[in-house]
Amino acid sequence: MAETRGIQSEDLYQLKSVANPQLAPDGKSYVYVQTTIDEETDEYQAHLFFQTLEDESEAVQWTYGKGRNHSPCWSPDGTHIAFVSNRSGKNQLYLLNVNGGEARQLTFLASGASNPVWSPDGTKLAFNTSLKTDKTIFDEEEKEVKKTVPLEVTKMKYKSDDGGFWQGDYKQVALVDVKSGDLTQLTDGAYHVSLYCWSPDGKYLAVGADFTEETDLSFIHDVYLLDIAQQEFIPVTNGAGYFDSVSWSPEGNYLGMFGHQREFENATHPKVWLFEIHSKKLDCLTSNWDVPVGDFMVGDFQQGAVSPGLLWSNDSKGFYFIGSEQGNTNIYFGDVNSGGIQPVYTDGGHVYGMSIHSATQKAVIALSKPTAISDLYLLSLSGEPSSLEKLTDVNGSFLQDVVLSKPEPVEFSGADDRKVYGWMMKPLGFEEGKKYPLVLEIHGGPHAMYGNTYMNEFQLLAAKGYAVLYVNPQGSHGYGQEFVNAVRGDYGGGDYQDLMLAVDSALEQYDFIDENRLGVTGGSYGGFMTNWIVGHTNRFKAAVTQRSISNWISFYGVSDIGYYFTEWQIKADFRDIQTLWKHSPLAYVEKVETPLLILHSEKDYRCPIEQAEQLFIALKRLGQKTKLVRFPEENHELSRSGKPSLRKSRLDYIVNWFEENL
What is the band of 4 on the pLDDT scale with cuts at 50, 70, 90?
confident
Q: d(Cα 393, Cα 18) in Å, to the nearest integer?
A: 10
Instruction: Read off the amino acid at residue 204.
Output: Y
**What's the CATH number where 514 sits?**
3.40.50.1820
- For 345, phi and psi rounded to 5 degrees? -135, 115
Q: What angle do CA 620, 540, 655 make, to 5 degrees?
A: 80
Whether the full predicted model's pTM is greater than 0.75, yes or no, is yes
User: Could you tell me the pLDDT band of residue 1, with boundaries at 50, 70 and 90?
Assistant: very low
**CB contact burial 635-647 (16+ within 10 A = b; e otherwise):** bbebbebbbbebb
Beta-bridged to residue 600, according to DSSP, are 630
- Which residue among the candidates 524, 554, 559, 601 is catalytic per the annotation? 524
For residue 190, pLDDT over 60 is answered with: yes
Which range of residues forms the domain containing residue 628? 405-661
Q: Does residue 337 form part of some domain?
A: no
- Residues contacting residue 78 through CB under 8 Å, at least 6 positions apart: 24, 25, 26, 98
- Binned at pLDDT 50, 70 and 90, residue 55 comes out as confident
- The pLDDT, as a whole number, for residue 386 is 53
What mean pLDDT comes out for the span 340-364?
95
Q: What integer best gives the mean pLDDT of the chain?
A: 96
**Vertex 307 angle, CA 457 and 74, to 5°:** 125
Tell me the pLDDT tens digit for each residue of 210-245: 999 999 999 999 999 999 999 999 999 989 899 999
pLDDT at 142 over 80: no
CA distances from 266 to 188, 262, 636 (A): 29, 7, 19
pLDDT in tens, 493-550: 999 999 999 999 999 999 999 999 999 999 999 999 999 999 999 999 999 999 999 9
> In this structure, is residue 582 part of a structural domain?
yes
pLDDT digits (tens, 9 = 90+) for 630-660: 999 999 999 999 999 999 999 999 999 999 9
pLDDT at 143: 74
How many Cβ atoms are within 10 Å of 411's Cβ, its own excluded? 12
- Per-residue pLDDT tens over the stretch 428-469: 999 999 999 999 999 999 999 999 999 999 999 999 999 999
Q: How many domains does the chain have?
A: 1
Count CB-CB contacts under 10 A for residue 154: 6
Taking only the tens place, the pLDDT of each residue in 155-178 is 999 999 999 999 999 999 999 999
Is residue 544 a part of any domain in this protein? yes
Which residues have CB under 8 Å from 177's CB, separation 6+? 123, 124, 183
Rg (CA), the chain: 25
Q: Which is higher by pLDDT, 162 or 144?
A: 162
CA distance 279 to 486: 38
Respond yes or no: is residue 524 known to be catalytic: yes
Give the pLDDT of residue 443.
Answer: 98
Q: Cα–Cα–Cα angle for 253, 256, 257, nearest 5°?
A: 155
Secondary structure (3-state) at 171: strand
| pLDDT at residue 301, rounded to an integer | 93
Among 144-148, 464-468, 614-618, the least confident range:
144-148
In the sheet with 80-85, reading across from the earlier edge strand, the strands are 69-74, 80-85, 92-97, 104-105
Mean pLDDT of 473-498: 98
List 70, 350, 447, 636, catalytic entry: 636
Amino acid at 336: V
What would the pLDDT profile of 382-429 be if each residue is shown by its tens digit?
Answer: 866 557 999 999 999 999 999 999 999 999 999 999 999 999 999 999
User: What one-letter code names the amino acid at 412?
Assistant: F
Is 425 within a domain? yes
What are phi and psi for residue 611, nearest 5 degrees? -65, -40
